[in-house]
């Protein structure tokens, strides 16, 4: 019945997806080495007294490779004498119950080198500090170059505010989704790294019923909470309207105006495939000015555009649904984003915006062009009044054929001087090989 295999469904455009970002908060924990150098890790290590200088060990692996410094279950045995009285440095993910085993083996501390932190746990009574791979490598080279490596772990401090840059977490999924690359994913980003979360007081990984947790599972509740607030402020808004309000008002810089980076194989500036419209801004989302709305007809046209037949769509909508005789273009789905995965020479896309701000409003366009792509918007001004609530415009994207490979990013903003309604543009140009190119 379905056009696509049931395992690999195309992206449902009615779902809002959240990426996970860090936030302007950290828990720096000083790690002082025997050579008196201090480097910073992160921990929730508060109630402990200073343990003083202790020996530092790391599991030895022959050679250098992906497994260097990994605390395998072979190493993590309570009868392994090398951990006695020492702080243990482990790279990568730890087997379950690692901190208890280290304690049972007489270990006095744990440093986990991992990037980025999924979870900062107090590790019961064992001081445990998380560092990124880079700091882990510095610690490892100190161990290897020192005859008697020593380390001191000091209690954590809390830092809030400007000095910390906001990044999209490594574990946060990236777009595009290959089965429906025209639908930008993710939609927005929200804090999802080291989020102070309530847990069962019985949970041994928690500290008096609280722990710092990371994941898109932490970012999603932030977005769901904002959605609930928006729905209570604007009960008539559709899910698409709410997603539009979130996306078009999201921030592409952090609170101090610095760009947002992404933690991946290489650190680079974040773009729409990392954070959608950007990091959610609940206050701005409550008053977006214009929304890119969608309803059942839009979703039916989407299903038509990806090849679902009338009978299949009717089963979903629970009433007879008929596709238009001319197959709709997926690019015209009224998303608060424009994503063109295969621009050849030029394409014209339509969007419709609904005024949810002051009744008499005039919006003008501004465009940031993706590299090598000309963006022409018609009309350049939208005038709303008591009878005109919705207006459509066209966006014509033309390729200069000067760029190859990868997506180029731009944006399109409507502004009335108070509201700024911005959607991201991502375009990949397709080069049609000419005869001479083949040789
Ligand atoms: C709203 O604008 C439209 C188009 O410019 C115009 O035809 C209409 O008369 C206006 N309505 C009011 C109430 O001003």
Q: Which of 26-30, 231-235, 280-284, 413-417 comes out lowest in average pLDDT? A: 26-30
Question: Nearest 5 degrees, angle CA 349-CA 414-CA 15?
Answer: 60
Class at the top of the CATH hierarchy for domain 25-160: alpha beta
Q: Which tokens hold the place of 157?
A: 């401090």
From the CA of 383, how far away is ligand 1's center (Å)?
9
Q: Which tokens hold the place of 139?
A: 């610690």
Distance between CA atoms of residues 108 and 396, nearest Å: 64
pLDDT score of 118? 47
- Whether ligand 1 lies within 6 angstroms of the CB of 388 is answered as yes
- Whether ligand 1 lies within 6 angstroms of the CB of 381 is answered as no
Q: Which tokens hold the place of 5?
A: 């295999």
User: Which residue has a Cα nearest atom 9 of ligand 1?
Assistant: 387
- Whether ligand 1 lies within 6 angstroms of the CB of 385 is answered as yes
Average pLDDT, the chain: 87
Q: Which tokens hold the place of 46?
A: 């508060």
Pairing of strands 128-131, 109-113: parallel
What residues does CATH 2.60.40.2310 cover in the chain?
Answer: 334-439
- What's the pTM value of the predicted model, to 2 decimals? 0.79
What residues does CATH 3.40.50.200 cover in the chain?
Answer: 1-19+162-288
Please state the atom number of ligand 1 nearest to the C-alpha of residue 386. Answer: 13
Let me know if domain 334-439 sits in CATH 2.60.40.2310.
yes
The winner for highest mean pLDDT among 42-56, 174-188, 216-230 is 216-230
Report whether pLDDT(362) > 80.
yes
- Whether ligand 1 lies within 6 angstroms of the CB of 387 is answered as yes
Pairing of strands 381-384, 361-368: antiparallel
From the CA of 360, how far away is ligand 1's center (Å)?
10
Ligand 1 pocket mutation, candidates 387, 389, 391, criterion most atoms within 8 A of CB: 387
Choose between 398 and 259: higher pLDDT. Answer: 398
From the CA of 362, how far away is ligand 1's center (Å)?
12
CATH topology of domain 1-19+162-288: Rossmann fold (3.40.50)
From the CA of 385, how far away is ligand 1's center (Å)?
6
What residues does CATH 3.50.30.30 cover in the chain?
Answer: 25-160
Classify 332 as helix, strand or coil: helix
From the CA of 361, how far away is ligand 1's center (Å)?
12
Nearest to 347 by CA among 182, 180, 179, 175: 182
From the CA of 355, how far away is ligand 1's center (Å)?
14
Query: What does the pLDDT look like over 306-348, one tens digit per residue?
Result: 999 999 999 989 999 999 999 999 999 999 999 999 998 899 9
């Amino acid at each position: 019945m379905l056009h696509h295999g049931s395992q690999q469904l195309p992206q449902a455009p009615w779902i809002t997806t959240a990426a996970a970002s860090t936030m302007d908060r950290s828990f720096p924990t000083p790690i002082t080495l025997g050579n008196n150098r201090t480097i910073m890790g992160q921990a929730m290590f508060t109630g402990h007294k200073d343990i003083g200088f202790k020996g530092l060990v790391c599991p030895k692996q022959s050679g250098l490779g992906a497994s260097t410094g990994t605390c395998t279950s072979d190493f993590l045995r309570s009868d392994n004498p090398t951990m006695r009285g020492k702080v243990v440095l482990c790279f990568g993910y730890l087997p379950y119950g690692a901190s208890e085993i280290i304690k049972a083996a007489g270990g006095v501390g744990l440093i986990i080198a991992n990037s980025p932190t999924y979870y900062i746990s107090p590790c019961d009574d064992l001081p445990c500090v998380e560092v990124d791979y880079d700091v882990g490598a510095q610690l490892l080279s100190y161990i290897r170059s020192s005859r008697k490596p020593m380390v001191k772990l000091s209690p954590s401090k809390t830092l809030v505010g400007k000095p910390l840059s906001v990044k999209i977490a490594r574990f946060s999924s990236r777009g595009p989704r290959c089965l429906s690359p025209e639908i930008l994913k993710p939609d927005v980003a929200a804090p999802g790294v080291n989020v102070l979360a309530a847990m069962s007081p019985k949970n041994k990984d928690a500290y008096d019923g609280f722990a710092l947790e990371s994941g898109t599972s932490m970012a999603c509740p932030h977005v769901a909470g904002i959605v609930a607030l928006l729905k209570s402020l604007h009960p008539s808004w559709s899910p698409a309207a709410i997603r539009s309000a979130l996306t078009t008002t999201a921030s592409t810089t952090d609170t101090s105006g610095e760009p947002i980076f992404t933690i991946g194989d290489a650190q680079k500036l974040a773009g729409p495939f990392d954070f959608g419209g950007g990091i959610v801004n609940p206050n701005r989302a409550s008053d977006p000015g214009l929304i890119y709305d969608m309803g059942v007809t839009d979703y039916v046209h989407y299903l038509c555009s990806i090849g679902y037949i009338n009978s299949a769509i009717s089963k979903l909508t629970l009433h007879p649904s008929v596709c238009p005789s001319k197959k709709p273009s997926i690019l015209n789905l009224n998303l608060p984003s424009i994503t063109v995965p295969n621009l050849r020479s030029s394409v014209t896309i339509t969007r419709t915006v609904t005024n949810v701000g002051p009744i008499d409003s005039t919006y003008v366009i501004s465009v940031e062009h993706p590299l090598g792509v000309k963006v022409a918007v018609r009309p350049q001004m939208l005038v709303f009044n008591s009878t005109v609530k919705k207006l459509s415009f066209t966006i014509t994207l033309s390729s200069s054929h000067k760029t190859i490979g990868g997506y180029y990013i731009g944006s399109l903003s409507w502004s009335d001087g108070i509201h700024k309604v911005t959607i991201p543009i991502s375009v990949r140009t397709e080069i049609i090989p000419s005869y001479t190119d083949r040789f």
